Chains A and B, each alone.
Chain A
Amino acid sequence: MTLTTTRSANEPGGGADPAVAPPAHGRRRASPARLLDTYGSLIAIGVIAVVLLVWAPSSLSQFRLDNLGKYCALALASMGIGLAWGRGGMLVLGQGVFFGLGAYAMAMHMKLEAAGPGGVPDFMTLYGDGTMPSWWEPFRSAPFTIFAIVALPAVVSFILGYAIVKRRVKGAYFAILTQAMAVAFATLLIATIKQTGGFNGLNTFSTVFGHNLFDPEVKRNLYRVAAGLVVVFLLVLWQLYRSRYGELLVATRDAEERIRFLGYDPANIKLVAFVIAAVMASIGGAVFVPIAGIISPTNVDASASIMLLAGVALGGRASLFGPVLGAIAVGYGRSTLSETFPTQWTYFLGALFIVVIVLLPGGVASLWPKLRSRWPSPTAETPANGDHDVDRSQPAVPA
């Protein structure tokens, strides 16, 4: 490749106008392979939607369906991690905090529903003097609760993220800070037993938005909401990843300083991903509570946050589907293995984690592009979702 137009511009000072250019030949026609690159993901989202929303409710027992619903709720948080970590390069070790914000907001509303109009949650009489802190009061309202589930993590993550990212804290320091956040959050919950139920958390609910939690149809609908949100979030992320913002986020992950010298403030780009990830985790938490019937500090602390992260790493953090599949697989493996090996199951998970990180640093989802790259393909394009820092050699295709 040479600068072909150079030859005609030999006269001194000539050809200074870059607008004088031959007709573009760089644009490409849509080929089947290119369409597959673009819309293959949509087809896969369709398949997942059918499996989760049609096949599973008609084939699985109530117990299995409830479990799958919980994994879907965790998957919502994992998808946020995929965005912040896989695409944004921010190792978020404290997503339990945002999961917890949504979960506790929902649980507070359900506790107040159970207590009845004007009533006080049972544990407050048990551990305290039966008076309710005033900040519980707004959560009697269902619309306020739903608003809080989205707004609370957005505000908190914006303030925290602004403080962290604007100071250019990154890498291990960022990870440690976010993990400390999760530790502090769980400690705070345990220390405030009269207000938050402490170590026991919040449980014994009866209804959610007026629907009886013990009604099998309500349970199935709760599952449908969780699974439906997985599909919705997949579509949101699909659009986000193919958008210019998605490209910019990957570019920021790979070369933050370069982005700065292209006129962007990388902190703002990362902050957007961090806030979206927090809101996703919060919605996941809110969906989790009515299905699981309990939320306690052990669901939101540092080790819960790391468990979320493990699923994302196994599945493939930078891919669209990796975090979902990873979260569901880890959740499933966790419950099946813990049925068989109640105490040793964490070792299996740990071993699997090591094997994947060593052999497949891009996660299981990176198998697909690896296989595809072996086929002769008419398109040589490399989209932007590669696990750049661990697997530079692999051209990555959107999974």
Chain B
Amino acid sequence: MTASFLAEDYLEIRDLTVDFDGFKAVDGVDLTLLQGRLHFLIGPNGAGKTTLVDALTGLVRGTGGAKFRDHDLLTMKSHMIVRLGIGRTFQTASVFEQLSVLQNLDIAAGVHRAARRSVFARGRVPERVEQALETIGLADLAHRPAGILAHGQKQWLEVGMLLVQDAKVMFLDETVAGMSSGEREETGELLKRIVGDRTIVVIEHDMDFMRRYADFVTVMHTGRVLAEGTVAEVQADQRVQEVYLGTATEAATHG
């Protein structure tokens, strides 16, 4: 990609473990997320992908280290992590359905606004919000309630909300799940356009989507990192093939 690999912003995860009463959903993960690339996180169900992101965004407690700009994310509260520039989406799109598309984006953009300014009504639309509306292609729907958007559009709106926050690290949890193939393609192109100097981590099950857009892939299995590399490298990896074939066989035998 265009960004330099002498990156200043990177998220370094060391020995991250999430322990649910003895069950290690994430088990000693080491991972370095560099800026400027679409980093796909794949793995069978229960591999710990979402839990990993939950731990990095303060939703569940993890041990180990996750360093970003001299902060250890594991000791921070969720909203402070977001303020540091680390945003995420959820598997089910969760936009504010009663508010308009514009209001959704404006609320997201407000995180960098002084609190005392929030007693005023929005005057003109902030430039950042207008740009995001264009980037995610929802400018024509700016004044419609977000609740009427199609599934794919809601996901784009979520991405837009991260954009107006200028999130440097974006965790996108199964963003293209349930999308039509056309929507998937548009989403992929959208991500390529916005990645710039950001780190975009995409949790995904769709292998075609991954093959097409991933710059880098990390495969997780039972809470651990199984393999890392480019799409070609990962696909050629014997263990990855076993895990995917293995789980398929297991699933078949277990009915």
What number of B residues sit within 8 Å (CB to CB) of A? 66
Hey, which chain A residues are within 8 Å of B78, CB to CB? 260-261
Contact of B193 with A395 in the complex, beta carbons under 8 Å: no
Contact of B186 with A380 in the complex, beta carbons under 8 Å: no
Interface of B is mostly: helix
A19-38 interface code vs B (CB 8 A; 1 in, 0 out): 10110111110000000000
Interface of A is mostly: loop
Of the listed stretches A240-248, A341-349, A369-377, name the one at the interface; the rest are far from the partner chain. A240-248
Hey, which chain A residues are within 8 Å of B141, CB to CB? 1
Contact of B98 with A244 in the complex, beta carbons under 8 Å: no
Our pick among A16, A244, A254 for the contact of B110 (Cβ within 8 Å) is: A244
Instruction: Give A262 to B157 CA distance when docked, in angstroms.
Output: 13
Contact of A21 with B131 in the complex, beta carbons under 8 Å: yes
In chain B, positions 63-107 with a C-beta closer than 8 Å to chain A are 77-80, 82-83, 87-88, 90, 94-100, 102-103, 106-107
B24 interface residue, CB < 8 Å from A? no
Instruction: Give A162 to B121 CA distance when docked, in angstroms.
Output: 27
Instruction: Give A261 to B118 CA distance when docked, in angstroms.
Output: 19
Hey, which chain A residues are within 8 Å of B108, CB to CB? 262
Chain B residue nearest to A21 in the complex (CB)? B134
Hey, which chain A residues are within 8 Å of B57, CB to CB? 261
Contact of A3 with B106 in the complex, beta carbons under 8 Å: no
In chain A, positions 292-312 with a C-beta closer than 8 Å to chain B are none
Hey, which chain B residues are within 8 Å of A4, CB to CB? 137
Our pick among B117, B133, B161, B194 for the contact of A262 (Cβ within 8 Å) is: B161
Instruction: Give A263 to B79 CA distance when docked, in angstroms.
Output: 4
With most chain B CB atoms within 10 A of its CB, the pick from A3, A15, A16, A247 is: A3
Hey, which chain B residues are within 8 Å of A240, CB to CB? 119
Hey, which chain B residues are within 8 Å of A263, CB to CB? 79-80, 82-83, 111, 165
Contact of B96 with A13 in the complex, beta carbons under 8 Å: no
A250 interface residue, CB < 8 Å from B? yes
Contact of B189 with A1 in the complex, beta carbons under 8 Å: no
Hey, which chain A residues are within 8 Å of B95, CB to CB? 258
A354-385 interface code vs B (CB 8 A; 1 in, 0 out): 00000000000000000000000001111010
Chain A residue nearest to B101 in the complex (CB)? A26
B138 interface residue, CB < 8 Å from A? yes
Of the listed stretches B6-14, B142-150, B203-211, name the one at the interface; the rest are far from the partner chain. B142-150
Instruction: Give A7 to B253 CA distance when docked, in angstroms.
Output: 45
Q: Nearest chain B CB to A384's CB is how many angstroms away?
A: 5
Hey, which chain A residues are within 8 Å of B21, CB to CB? none
On whether A245 and B82 interact (CB within 8 A), knowing A26-B133, A261-B57, the answer reads: no
B196 interface residue, CB < 8 Å from A? yes
Hey, which chain A residues are within 8 Å of B254, CB to CB? none
Hey, which chain A residues are within 8 Å of B139, CB to CB? 24-26
Q: Nearest chain B CB to A213's CB is how many angstroms away?
A: 37
With most chain A CB atoms within 10 A of its CB, the pick from B77, B133, B139, B194 is: B139
Contact of B107 with A247 in the complex, beta carbons under 8 Å: yes
A61 interface residue, CB < 8 Å from B? no
Q: Nearest chain B CB to A200's CB is how many angstroms away?
A: 42
B26 interface residue, CB < 8 Å from A? no
Our pick among B106, B133, B163, B196 for the contact of A16 (Cβ within 8 Å) is: B196
Hey, which chain B residues are within 8 Å of A388, CB to CB? 97-98
Binding site for A on B (CB under 8 A): 1-2, 57, 77-80, 82-83, 87-88, 90, 94-100, 102-103, 106-108, 110-111, 113, 117-122, 124-125, 130-145, 150, 153, 156, 161, 163, 165, 182, 186, 189-190, 192-196
What are some 20 contacts across the A-B interface (CB < 8 A)? A5-B134, A6-B190, A16-B195, A16-B196, A18-B193, A21-B130, A25-B139, A25-B140, A26-B102, A26-B125, A27-B125, A28-B143, A243-B121, A250-B96, A258-B94, A263-B83, A264-B110, A380-B143, A381-B143, A382-B98
Known: A4-B137, A18-B193, A26-B130. 5 other contacts (CB 8 A): A1-B140, A18-B132, A260-B79, A380-B144, A384-B98
Binding site for B on A (CB under 8 A): 1-6, 9-10, 13, 15-19, 21-22, 24-28, 239-240, 242-245, 247-248, 250-251, 254-255, 257-265, 379-382, 384, 386, 388, 395-396
